[in-house]
Structure 1
């Protein structure tokens, strides 16, 4: 998977000015009716038709909600899945092949730091779990025990920075660990075969645990929300400028999906739906134990989400994963979300969290 990361970086660096100014013919394009909306998804998904889980974006996709919203106008909606995850989405953004993108923080920061113009519209997939798994007989008990160990990590994704931040707070520097860049499937195989001493991963690690092939020795959410992973829905600046009404319709559709499944009575239905994608429903139930749906499906652009991106920007710069620091100011565009919350009478429905990861009280 490393080639995706390298190729995406090279393309973004080479075309750092993409999106800085309208291309030739943009005025004509602005006058033309909208016929197609292209949404990039930073996962390969699973099944036929392809599905993915873990966010309000996956709900909107599985239920065809965006397609339904635009069907009266004859606008086609195309969801494009990328096995190369966030870095591959960046490549498509550079090549102007997407209008919207569901993507984690690190790859988003990469394209932001290098001049690709996007706007963050809402959170979708916030406070997602990050876990550390080890072979059953391992003596590793936590993050502090990883010094000198060989650890699998899907670099270039939003797991990367979250893992590095958590390690740093435990006194473990990135250079203290022998990281191996592996995607999730390869990482799981390496862990089972004992080719690595440990692996950072997502909910798929529960499957290994339940089969007796691994132990999970650390959970970000149980430690602190500041170590969890964030993802968001972005739109290209060009598309938002030319089609603001369409952007509003997409955002409102996502908010409706998040609202419907933030109801605890929908918990079983939600996991059953996600269970048709990469992981079975039982895995999602494990991930969400003790976590209210309103907390995990929140679309809010609150201080927590903004500060998470700021912290990730600092870490990415320190690790030289980006050329300079991505500017967070002016990136989040809450106007569409605010309009949707007002229209749907959902102001105050989702809990807001502070920059420190703690619940804000009013």
Structure 2
């Protein structure tokens, strides 16, 4: 039996379990729309080598790549049906799902430590307590913003105790280095670049507050095109295994795409990214359950929202089981 037929059978069976009654023959897919992001090196590798274009060429399906500057953008594109599959942080995906974005997460593209709280090298800020009354840049709807809120709680501070400046990640770095804000909830590779090139300091790190890299699919796309979704995940798997085997080359791709130095890219890929566990599981469910209270504490979701139910509906632990290569 051909590999593609096996994938279709596996994906169809998985989708029938996840979407009972919804799996049916879909019209041929003319265009497959995905995002790529500098916080997702796997997507950069996949786009660079054209493996999806190669796989879908015989079907007459074109591949459209859309740059996501942050989780907020990826989730906006998914909600607007501008892309079919997009990458975001786990807690950001939960926030979007709870507020109506119709997505599921069948794959984990990495376990990163991609955010921390950053200050200039000459800053007098040394601890979380020192942030009271300060201007802090962060991109709303992303892991760094939610990291900031959770970090403030560690120090007994509230959002009202600081002045939040809403900027996209790259602009947050510029604002910090120009002294327009006192601190910044950073995101790699911008954060690593600020550290290595400008001497910026990380005053608070907590890898447990960095939620995983979620590859999200629109529910209607996953239901109508399970075989195509499976092929995307297989391609992500190919890219993931390639990065594990070739981290220096992966860093070069990140360096070229994000226009950062090679040392910055190596810091992100070798020291702050874990590509070992791509299958959504109870580990990811638990991480979101621990993080979810911040969404209710800060009134980021409607009162009475059953976040545990939303988490279980978001994290699809079954679809990718037959597609994952164990490492």
Is TM-score (shorter-chain normalized) higher than 0.5?
yes
Matches of 1:37 and 1:288, distance apart in 2: 27
Deviates more, 1:273-282 or 1:97-106: 97-106
The runs of 5 or more residues in structure 2 that have no matched partner are: 1-18
Matches of 1:73 and 1:62, distance apart in 2: 21
Q: Is 1:169 the counterpart of 2:154 in the alignment?
A: yes
Q: Is 1:35 the counterpart of 2:35 in the alignment?
A: no
What residue in structure 1 maps to residue 322 of structure 2?
Answer: 339
Shift in Å, 1:35 = 1.8
Q: Is 1:286 the counterpart of 2:267 in the alignment?
A: yes
Alignment of 1:103-114 (within 5 A): 103-114=88-99
* Aligned mate of 2:205, from 208, 219, 242: 219
Mark the CA change 1:311 to 1:62 in structure 2 (over 3 Å): closer, same or farther: farther
What residue in structure 2 maps to residue 242 of structure 1?
Answer: 224
What residue in structure 1 maps to residue 191 of structure 2?
Answer: 205
8 Å contact from structure 1 (residues 130, 229) kept in 2: no
Matches of 2:197 and 2:26, distance apart in 1: 57
Matches of 1:245 and 1:289, distance apart in 2: 32
Matched pairs, number: 302
Shift in Å, 1:210 = 3.0
> Of the two structures, which has the highest relative contact order with CA contacts closer than 8 Å and spacing of 6 or more?
2
CA RMSD of aligned residues (A): 2.7
* Aligned mate of 2:292, from 291, 313, 325: 313
Q: Is 1:275 the counterpart of 2:255 in the alignment?
A: yes
Alignment of 1:151-170 (within 5 A): 151-170=136-155
Local SS of the residue matching 1:275 = helix
8 Å contact from structure 1 (residues 124, 297) kept in 2: no
What residue in structure 2 maps to residue 13 of structure 1?
Answer: none
Matches of 1:208 and 1:86, distance apart in 2: 20
* Aligned mate of 1:190, from 166, 175, 185: 175
Matches of 1:53 and 1:91, distance apart in 2: 17
Alignment of 1:1-362 (within 5 A): 30-41=25-36, 43=37, 52=38, 54-83=40-69, 85-203=70-188, 204-212=190-198, 214-220=200-206, 225-263=207-245, 266-278=246-258, 279-288=260-269, 290=271, 295-296=274-275, 298-323=277-302, 324-326=305-307, 327-341=310-324, 346-347=325-326, 349=327
Deviates more, 1:70-79 or 1:281-290: 281-290
Q: Per-residue CA shift, 1:283-339, capped at 9, x if unaligned? A: 122235556x6x345313233322222334321222112223541113222333211
8 Å contact from structure 1 (residues 251, 336) kept in 2: no
- Bigger share in helix: 2
Shift in Å, 1:123 = 0.8
Shift in Å, 1:30 = 4.6
User: What TM-score do you get using the length of structure 2 for normalisation?
Assistant: 0.82
8 Å contact from structure 2 (residues 89, 213) kept in 1: yes
Mark the CA change 1:286 to 1:193 in structure 2 (over 3 Å): closer, same or farther: same
The runs of 5 or more residues in structure 1 that have no matched partner are: 1-19, 44-51, 350-362
Matches of 1:136 and 1:95, distance apart in 2: 40
